[in-house]
Structure 1
């Protein structure tokens, strides 16, 4: 993972606050209590840059917790590494009337490693203080000073970054020396106060009385409706490495220079690479062979130590130890391709994050690295940390993103391929043999593609007990008794997997007098609908677009005939298209259903239209056929 620079902490003692604000919870504006579990009373940050590689940050924060749901907001948590330190921490607890209950001692803070479970090396630590107060409301106030010795980013300001809380007062002051330029990216209409004095430039942003937002389904975030600012330096120093960051080209050049020369293989490994690809008939075949070798011979671990959070481990070292992080494995793959005569580029990307902002270069928009292999008019993208994904498959967490190619001439913005709904497919065929007692024997074959393959591929390596548990949950609507089940990936070169099942389902046919009723969509019904929201505030989007195709053949019990079949249904909107049809032939009923959903981001005002679209699908999924016994 490309390093997100965290804070440093060197704590010696906790002191008493210098002065206390009036934290009487009864004086909070009632408008701020609506939808809120806690209210931020003050959130003041001052960030003074001394030089391209050093800065001092002072923070004061106070939060009033209204109920148990707000308890996590009262925890003091600060991270540190070897590039920063923290001092002058003060923490005080107040009761509902704003009277001081107690000050916290340094011995009450927990200091522990913050190494990630997937990391081998990290130098992060965390200092943590958690409240155990049972009387609501209560207020926690804390303050601290943080010194930075190495800077890539300046703190962003997002006074209201999540749902369920309100902000009474928040300020952010940035102080930089004259001649040290910065770039800003901020929310629409956000006012910036600035003044030049004593050879320093001071910028200030503030917000007051920001009401809480109630959580909204499928929300794409609060960025369009709350104030925020991001700041990036044009000149930085980190871990003794200096660089310019006027644009993406600068950032790409800095990373290229860090990694340059690290894509050399040992003589023995070079011989092995040439041997592996000597019979390959095309560049694409060479890529697949070497990618499969990478998957089989290495494993992913995270390495986050100083500049090592950005500089890949040398390819020769990865070859020796058989592990590395995303940078190291991508660089190792680059070295093997180079030995095979194929050029490639490291790629900086935000996995699970929005696209890089084309007009605002900064380090904190990315967290991952992959590899790009240009082949004429086509490009192969390689996720070098996965031991399962096929060569060239672009996962939905990095698909359709603006990314940064790292080249000798600097960074070049590019776009990863999109996964359209047809690629993210689920294709199911099932034969349902109906029995006279109302039960059924069902054989199911389902193929999952692309994003739906990703969502299910963990089952390929799961224990049988976990597979069984998952299937019982997935098909709970038909009360399944699993007779056999299997998961497989027929072709490792394709992002597809199959699920084969034999199920006994209980009471598929329900009786009413001398008639029997059959719900036709047994296996892929929409079982719930979204709640309507009046005056929705945030835009919304689905994780990815997809297309489901279901074809069920019902074999009727002897002596039964079809008395009624529902008419075909077509529902179409800007969100997608639903089609279902039913036909009868030779003692069988054939049910077909297709649902195609788009993955666009929609304006808040469109949300209730989506609710209505899903409601119609919900109703269409419950249609029944009517059977009767032959005379």
Structure 2
């Protein structure tokens, strides 16, 4: 008996010792801690797709936080709404050796609304727990179950959770009953295990020992270098509606039906529309008048309640309250146009996201809605959430991508307009007048178009004191003192704005003996060059194509002569082009600079060539003229 008790005690102690050391940080392979701030020790995600309207998720994860930079990963933040519930939450904190430090209770977990800064109505909630430790490394572990009553999408999965976080082991298992169908889209090299569990089909995806990836400049390709899978139901039932996601046509048919009978306007609004357009001859001008009416009489407010996250508020309601989200305002504009006999179509779009995948229709590829107005030989896309943007300008985050047009025949993939480098222009002329003592009066006049208009547009909306502050913060002219300035959008119908700034400086000429040195590029210099990267992982691109045109005229003091002027420079690459020209006439130096960049997608191995291109521009932008002072 003594031997049996001793053996049992030994076995229990061994098991306890093993449990305590499971998350021992010293046992993490060195290849996983390299470039990592945290390591996922284990992740288990099991989703049971029971029938068209219900499913259950069981989830467990343990993350070892290696240093303070990884503290952002020490958090449980799991969302739910009125169509799902989260329960059976367990959470534990471990020290560096894997010893349990704290087991959290229900009272430690916050249950709070997820109302966004831009939302007024939203029924999403979150179960939130922030783990804290004063020593590193430490490990967090939590698990929960979640039931769904209405399924539009399934949990997605990646082999690693983000930049700077490695994975020891992660498994995603999805089980479906024979009564339902699904589709999945996976990365090229990810293996899918498919087995049978009785009459149910089980899919499994996993990753083991995946090193961390560092964030890289201009990166657009995280999903090109990690394994991932996205899963979507074919048929679904949600908030009293049914639909089918097996094609974009059927997806659009669901959206169209959600909006049926939602375009009725109040009589007073109808009368207003007729009064505004009664003497207007062309559809384009009617559209312009009604778009201005929309901008002047409504404001954007997000509404995300149940099916309201997808179904627009009735046009009649928007007319009464004068606000709505992107769906409601687009639908309202559609109703206004319909009143004057102009047909339009709602557009489902991913703002700032890749275009819709033509081969795989699913929820989650879009986050926004705009409107398309197909006139003869001219289709105009309208961004209906902005009170300021010109009609037809949808912004670079909406441009040049596949989107879904909603028609009475279902969804149809179309492409939004692309803005070229010449469209996204900056045209700036600068005049510098030197006094005999070297003090300079500087006048800068710039014009910005399309994407560069969008980048600078905020200056039109803020007070002069804030404008002054921002000018001073961005000003790189040595010793410059800001005088007057002005921002203007002369024609509200086009995405073009102007800027005029006047400054003074007595530090433009650096002197050495009887010589003075003048950096000729005064206002648009590349001030740094990114470091080269060995073994870069991700694809890259500049945010948008653009063209910068700069002309600077320096009127020199009469007591100075031009002793040296740099030679013209021309740099051409697949990333873009650059030229700098230097002309001297009488006592004036005219410097012209052009730079044009293309927002093409480039593979990782091309990145160091981009750095070399930027380095040449950096050196070209530092060119100096040498002036000699008469005795």
Give runs of aligned pairs for residues 558-569 of structure 1, distance below 5 A: 558-569=558-569
Normalising by structure 2, what TM-score? 0.96
Hey, what does 1:404 align to over in structure 2?
404
Structure 2 CA distance for aligned equivalents of residues 464 and 128 of structure 1: 41
Hey, what does 2:576 align to over in structure 1?
576
Superposed CA deviations along residues 131-177 of structure 1, whole A, max 9, x for unmatched, are 22011111111110000111100111113142111000000000111
Classify the secondary structure of the residue corresponding to 1:563. Answer: strand
Deviation at 1:505, TM superposition (A): 2.2
Give runs of aligned pairs for residues 415-454 of structure 1, distance below 5 A: 415-454=415-454
Hey, what does 2:330 align to over in structure 1?
330
Hey, what does 1:212 align to over in structure 2?
212
1:478 touches 1:522 (CA, 8 Å); kept in 2? Answer: no
Structure 2 CA distance for aligned equivalents of residues 279 and 424 of structure 1: 35
Q: Does 1:591 align with 2:591?
A: yes
Pick which of 218-227 and 384-393 moved more. 218-227
1:438 touches 1:510 (CA, 8 Å); kept in 2? Answer: no
2:476 touches 2:523 (CA, 8 Å); kept in 1? Answer: no
Deviation at 1:261, TM superposition (A): 1.2
Hey, what does 1:340 align to over in structure 2?
340
Q: Does 1:283 align with 2:283?
A: yes
Deviation at 1:480, TM superposition (A): 2.0
Structure 2 CA distance for aligned equivalents of residues 71 and 502 of structure 1: 46
State the superposition RMSD in angstroms. 1.2
Give runs of aligned pairs for residues 70-219 of structure 1, distance below 5 A: 70-219=70-219
Superposed CA deviations along residues 562-614 of structure 1, whole A, max 9, x for unmatched, are 11111110000000000110111232111100000110110001000000000
- The verdict on how the C-alpha distance between 1:123 and 1:138 changes in structure 2, with shifts beyond 3 A counting, is same
Give runs of aligned pairs for residues 592-607 of structure 1, distance below 5 A: 592-607=592-607
2:21 touches 2:99 (CA, 8 Å); kept in 1? Answer: no
Give runs of aligned pairs for residues 129-528 of structure 1, distance below 5 A: 129-528=129-528
Deviation at 1:51, TM superposition (A): 1.0
Deviation at 1:21, TM superposition (A): 7.2
Structure 2 CA distance for aligned equivalents of residues 344 and 588 of structure 1: 56
Hey, what does 1:10 align to over in structure 2?
none
- The verdict on how the C-alpha distance between 1:262 and 1:316 changes in structure 2, with shifts beyond 3 A counting, is same
Classify the secondary structure of the residue corresponding to 1:541. Answer: coil
Deviation at 1:483, TM superposition (A): 0.6
1:161 touches 1:222 (CA, 8 Å); kept in 2? Answer: no
Structure 1 CA distance for aligned equivalents of residues 615 and 553 of structure 2: 26
Classify the secondary structure of the residue corresponding to 1:89. Answer: strand
Deviation at 1:20, TM superposition (A): 6.8
Unaligned runs of 5+ in 1: 1-18
2:577 touches 2:597 (CA, 8 Å); kept in 1? Answer: yes
Classify the secondary structure of the residue corresponding to 2:331. Answer: helix
Deviation at 1:280, TM superposition (A): 1.9
Structure 2 CA distance for aligned equivalents of residues 327 and 467 of structure 1: 33
Hey, what does 1:13 align to over in structure 2?
none
Structure 2 CA distance for aligned equivalents of residues 163 and 204 of structure 1: 24
Structure 1 CA distance for aligned equivalents of residues 59 and 592 of structure 2: 60
Hey, what does 2:8 align to over in structure 1?
none
Deviation at 1:221, TM superposition (A): 2.9
Structure 2 CA distance for aligned equivalents of residues 491 and 531 of structure 1: 42
> Across the two proteins, how many residue pairs are aligned to each other?
614
2:74 touches 2:132 (CA, 8 Å); kept in 1? Answer: no
Structure 2 CA distance for aligned equivalents of residues 510 and 244 of structure 1: 71
Classify the secondary structure of the residue corresponding to 1:437. Answer: coil
Structure 2 CA distance for aligned equivalents of residues 420 and 66 of structure 1: 45
Structure 1 CA distance for aligned equivalents of residues 513 and 608 of structure 2: 40
Structure 2 CA distance for aligned equivalents of residues 501 and 189 of structure 1: 55
Structure 1 CA distance for aligned equivalents of residues 211 and 551 of structure 2: 49
Give runs of aligned pairs for residues 588-627 of structure 1, distance below 5 A: 588-627=588-627
Hey, what does 2:548 align to over in structure 1?
548
Structure 1 CA distance for aligned equivalents of residues 311 and 382 of structure 2: 19
Normalising by structure 1, what TM-score? 0.96
